[in-house]
Structure 1
Amino acid sequence: MSALNTLAGRLHHAKPEDLPGIAEDAAISLGATATTLYLVDYSQVDLLAQVPANRPAPDPIPIDGTVAGRAYSTGVPTRIADLQTGGDQLWLPVVDGAERVGVFAVTLSAAAAADPAVQANLQTLTTLLGQILAARHGYGDALERTRRRLPMQLAAEIIWTQLPPLTFATDRATVAAILEPAYDVGGDAFDYAANGDTLHVALFDAVGHGIEASSLTALALSAYRNARRCGLDLSDTYRSIDKWVNAQHPGSFVTAVLAELDTPNGTYRKISAGHPGELLLRNGRCIAELPAPTAMPLGLGNLVDPIPGITEITLEPGDQLLLYTDGVVEARTDAGDLFGVERLTDFVTKALADQLPAAETMRRLVHAILAHQHERLQDDATAVLVEWNGAPVPAATDAPPPSLISNRSLPAPDALTVPSH
C-alpha cells in the first residue's frame, strides 16, 4: 500500500521526466535497493535508459543477445543472481496492455530476493508503471527524446504522431505492426480499433515520399477514422476516403486495405484498394493469398464504378492474416534480389513455428527486411499481423463446406489497373 500511496501522491503534478524517480521510490518502499527504467527505441534495436535529471544514463542495452532484451522480447520477467551483493537483479517487462514499452531493472538485497512477495509486488508496480507511462508521455518530450537513437525526420514525425500503439490484444484477437524506416518513414501508416464485436484494421501506402506523402497519408488516415466513427460500412468508408483524397490531392492516390474482423465468429471482410493481397496463415503455413485488388486506389475511385469489391472469408481459431505494403516484398539487395513474397512467407511461418509472440515476430521480420537491403530501404516497409483466437463456428453436418473466399461487387478486371507508385 505504501508503494501505491507513493505513486498516487506524486503523480498529480508530475512531468514525464519525473516518472523514473517516482517509480524508484515506490520500488524501494517494496524492498528494492535501486532501479533503472529502460524504454525501447523506435526501431526496436536498443533499450535506452530514462533516468532522473541528476543521474548519468547508463549505456544502451541491445535487445538481441542480452538478459534485458530477453525480458523485453518474451514478456517474461527475468531474474539473475548478483554475485557481489548476494541479491538479485530483476528485469521486468514494462507493457501497456499488449504494447511493449521497455523494461524495469530492479536490484534486490539478499533479504528481499528471498521474499516471494517482494517480486510479486514489484511486478504489480511495473504493470502500473506501463500504464502510467502511456498516459503521461504526451505531457512532455522527455520520454520521446529518450526513445530516439536518431533525429526524427518531419515526415516521420507526422506519421508517428497519428499511429496507434504497435501492439493490441483482446481475448479474441491480436494486432501487431511494424513500420520502417522508423526515423524517415513517409507514406505508410496503419490503424485499428476495437468496437464491440468488430475489430477494424487498415493499412495505407501513399504515392511519393517525404512530406508530400506523409501529408497525403495523414489525410487518408484521418478520413478513415472519421468514416469509421460516423458508423459507415466498408463501402461507404472507401467512398468517403476516396472523395477526400481526390478533393485535397487531385492526381495523387493511396493504396490501402480496409478490413473488419467479426471477433465472435471469425468473419473477415476487406476492400483492397490497389493493394497487395494479405497472406492467410494456418497451422504454421501459408494457405492462401487473398484476392487483390478489389477496388481502385483511394483518390482514383471516381474514375470507375464507385462500388468497391469486398472479399469475405471465415477464419479458423489461430489463423493469422499478414497485411503488408509493397516496400516489404520489394526490398532488394545491391544485386537486385527481391525480398519477395516467398521469403516473407517463409520468415513468418518459421517465426510462428518457434511460437514467438506476435509483436516479436514482427520486430524480427522488419530487421530481416533491413538486413536484406543492408539497412537502406528504398521504400517504406510496413506490415500488420492479425490473429483470431475466437471459438470455432459449428458447421452444419448436412451442408457442404463453405468456400474459403467469396467476392462480392467485384469491379471488372480492366477497371483495376493500378498505377505505379
Structure 2
Amino acid sequence: MESMEAVRRLMDLRHSGRAEDLPSVLAAAAPLLGAHSATVLLADYGQVALHPLRTAHQNSEGLAVDATAAGRAFTTSVHQWHGEFLHLPLMHGAERFGVLQLRMIDSPGEPVLRDLEIIAALVAELIAGRRFYGDAVEHTRRRLPMQLAAEIIWNQLPPLTYALDGTTVAAVLEPCYDVGGDAFDYAANADVLHLALFDTVGHGIAASALATLTLNAYRNARRSGLSLLDTCRSIDKWVRAQYPRAFVTALLAELDMGTGLYRRISAGHPAEILLRDGRVLPPLPTPGTLPLGLGHMIDRPPRVDEIALEPGDTLVLYTDGITEARDAAGELFGPDRLAAFLRDTLAQGIPAPEVMRRLVNTIVSYENGDLRDDATAAMLRWRTVNPSV
C-alpha cells in the first residue's frame, strides 16, 4: 500500500481544497490504499443514516445507522468489516462525523489497518477544517429543509461531543431541523469544565434570537472571568434588558476536572439526573433562583449548589421537552422513565454520544415522530475508566 502518496494527495487539500473535493481525491487515491473505492459517509443531523459526501446537485441513498456495519463503526468508533467493505470511523477529537468506507482489494494485515486508521483520521481533520469553505457537508447532512430558527441555533453551538482525560460531554438536540428555543454550551479552561443548558420561552425565530443572546451573554461572562454567581446575574440582566417579557430556564455548571467538585446554579430548570455505580442518586435541589430575566423579582442571590463527584459518575442535564414528551395516550415520558433509560443504557458500556443518540431517538419514537417541544440533553461523565465511554 502506497499510503504516503495517498497522504500527500490528501494533504494538498489542507490549504486550497474544499470538502466537496474529497470524493474525487479519495477515488484517485483508493488504489494507493489497497482499495477499489473510498467513500466518505457522513451522519445526517438526526443521526439515523450515513450518506455519501456530495455537492448540492448530487443525491444518493444512505446506510442506516442501526443494523449496518457502517452504522456499527459510527456508533462504536471501532472499524467494522462487511464482505469486502471496511468501515473506519471518522472522528475529529471525540466528535463523530461518519465513516470512511473502503472496498478493499485484499484483507489488510494489522500494520496496513493501522495506516488506514491514520488515513481516516486525516480525512476527518480535512472535513473539520474545510467544511466552512463551502456547503457540501451541510448539503449531505441535511435530509429535510432546515428552518431558519434551527439554522440560527446550530450555527451557535459547539461540537456535540468533547472528551479530555476521562471527562466527556455529549449533547443532542431535537427536532434537529426545527429547534428554536433550546441551546447548550461548554468550554474547558485549565482544570475547569464550564457547562450550560438553556431553554428559552417561546418557539421559532423569537426563541432562537433569545437563545442567541443568552448563549453569547454566557460566553461573554465566562470569558470575562466572572464567577458562576456573577455569570448568572449578568445573563439575567441582559435577558431582562433586551427581552423584558421573556425568560430562560437554565443550568449553569462548573466541574473541577482534577477534584470532581461540581458546582451549579439552577435557574428555574429541572434538576440533573445523577448516576453512580449503576444507581440513580437523589436529584440535586432545584431551583436555586428564578429563570433568567426574572431575577429582579426576588431579593436573594442565586444559590450555588455543590456536590463531590466520584470517578465514573454521570450527570445528565435536560430540558423539559425530554420529560414532557407524550405518547398517543397522553402519558408523559417523565423523569423516572428517563432515569431508567439512562441507567439501563449506561450499564451496557455504550459510549456517551451513542447513549444520547439513542435517547433522542427514543423520545422521538415515544411521541410518534412529532415532537411538541424542543428536546435537548447533555451528558457529563467524569473520570470514566474508558475515556471513549
- How many angstroms apart in 2 are the aligned matches of 1:224 and 1:306? 21
Within 5 A, what are the aligned runs for 1:184-263?
184-263=178-257
Contact preservation (8 Å) 2:13, 2:126: no
CA distance in 2, matches of 1:61, 1:161: 26
CA distance in 1, matches of 2:66, 2:13: 35
The counterpart of 1:77, out of the listed 63, 76, 79, is: 79
Question: How do residues 78-227 of structure 1 correspond to structure 2 at under 5 angstroms?
Answer: 78-81=80-83, 88-110=84-106, 113-227=107-221
Give yes or no for the alignment of 1:48 onto 2:70. no
Would you say 1:60 and 2:56 are equivalent positions?
no
For each residue in 1:68-103, what CA deviation from the matched residue of structure 2 results, as whole angstroms up to 9, or x when unmatched?
Answer: 11111111100133xxxxxx3101111111111001
Report what 2:35 is aligned to: 32
In the alignment, structure 1 residue 3 sits paired with structure 2 residue 6: yes
The answer on whether the counterparts of 1:199 and 1:262 sit within 8 Å (CA) in structure 2 is yes
Deviations 1:244-299 (A, max 9, x none): 11111112000000000000010000000100000110011211211110011111
Contact 1:328 1:381 in 2 (8 A): yes
How far did residue 22 of structure 1 move? 2.3
Structure 2 unaligned regions, length at least 5 = none
Indicate conservation of the 8 Å contact 2:273/2:315, yes or no.
yes
AA aligned opposite 1:39: L
2:23 maps to what in 1? 20
Distance 1:388 1:255, change over 3 A: same
Give the superposition deviation at 1:354. 0.8
Q: Percent identity?
A: 54
Code of the residue aligned with 1:32 in structure 2: it is A
Question: Aligned partner of 2:16: which letter?
Answer: H
Of 359, 363, 374, which residue of structure 1 is paired with 2:368?
Answer: 374
- How many angstroms does 1:48 deviate by? 1.1
- Listed one character per residue, the Cα deviations across residues 284-317 of structure 1 (whole Å, up to 9, x for unaligned) are 1211211110011111112222621000000000
- Separation in 2 of the partners of 1:187 and 1:198? 27
SS at match of 2:328: coil
Of residues 285, 291, 298 in structure 2, which corresponds to 1:291?
Answer: 285
Q: Quick one: structure 1 residues 250 and 114, their matched pair in 2 at CA, closer, same or farther if it must change by over 3 Å?
A: closer
How far apart are the structure 1 equivalents of 2:222 and 2:29? Answer: 41
Contact 1:203–1:257 (CA under 8 A) maintained in structure 2 = yes
Long gaps (5+) in structure 1: 82-87, 392-421
Q: TM (normalized to structure 1)?
A: 0.88
Q: C-alpha distance in 2, partners of 1:46/1:79?
A: 18
1:36/1:390 Cα in 2 relative to 1: closer, same or farther (>3 Å)? closer
SS at match of 2:179: coil
Q: Secondary structure at the match of 2:281?
A: strand
Closer/same/farther in 2, CA of residues 214 and 53 from structure 1, 3 Å limit: closer
Larger radius of gyration: 1
Contact 2:56–2:136 (8 Å) recurs in 1:
no
Which whole-Å CA distance do the structure 2 matches of 1:235 and 1:345 have between them? 29
Report how far residue 10 of structure 1 moved. Answer: 3.5
Change over 3 Å in CA distance of 1:61–1:277 after alignment to 2: same
Give the 3-state SS of the residue equivalent to 1:224 in structure 2: helix
8 Å Cα contact 2:54/2:139 also seen in 1? no
The answer (yes or no) to whether the contact 2:240–2:246 under 8 Å persists in 1 is yes
Instruction: Describe the SS at the equivalent of 1:354.
Output: coil
For 1:377 and 1:58, how far apart are their aligned partners in 2?
A: 27
- Do 1:193 and 1:199's aligned partners in 2 also have CA atoms closer than 8 Å? yes
* 1:330 to 2:324 alignment: yes
Alpha-carbon deviation of 1:390?
A: 7.0
- TM-score (normalised: structure 2): 0.95
Q: What is the distance in 2 between the residues matched to 1:10 and 1:322?
A: 39
> Alpha-carbon deviation of 1:104?
0.7
- For 1:195, the aligned partner's letter is N
**Is residue 27–residue 125 contact of structure 1 (8 Å, CA) maintained in 2?**
no
The answer to whether residue 232 in structure 2 is matched with residue 267 in structure 1 is no
Per-residue deviation, 1:114: 4.2
Task: Give RMSD over aligned pairs.
Answer: 1.6
What SS class does the counterpart of residue 200 from structure 1 fall into?
strand
CA offset digits 1:200-248 (Å, max 9, x no partner): 0000000001111111011000100111111111011011111111111
Query: For the residues of structure 1 that align with 2:67 and 2:343, how far apart are their CA atoms?
Result: 22
Measure the CA separation in 2 of the matches of 1:52 and 1:301: 48
> Residues 122 and 24 of structure 1: is their aligned pair in 2 closer, same or farther, counting only changes over 3 Å?
farther
The residue matched to 2:90 in structure 1 has which SS? strand
Aligned length: 382
SS at the partner of 1:341? helix
Residue 125 and residue 306 in structure 1: after superposition, are their counterparts in 2 closer, same or farther (change >3 A)?
farther
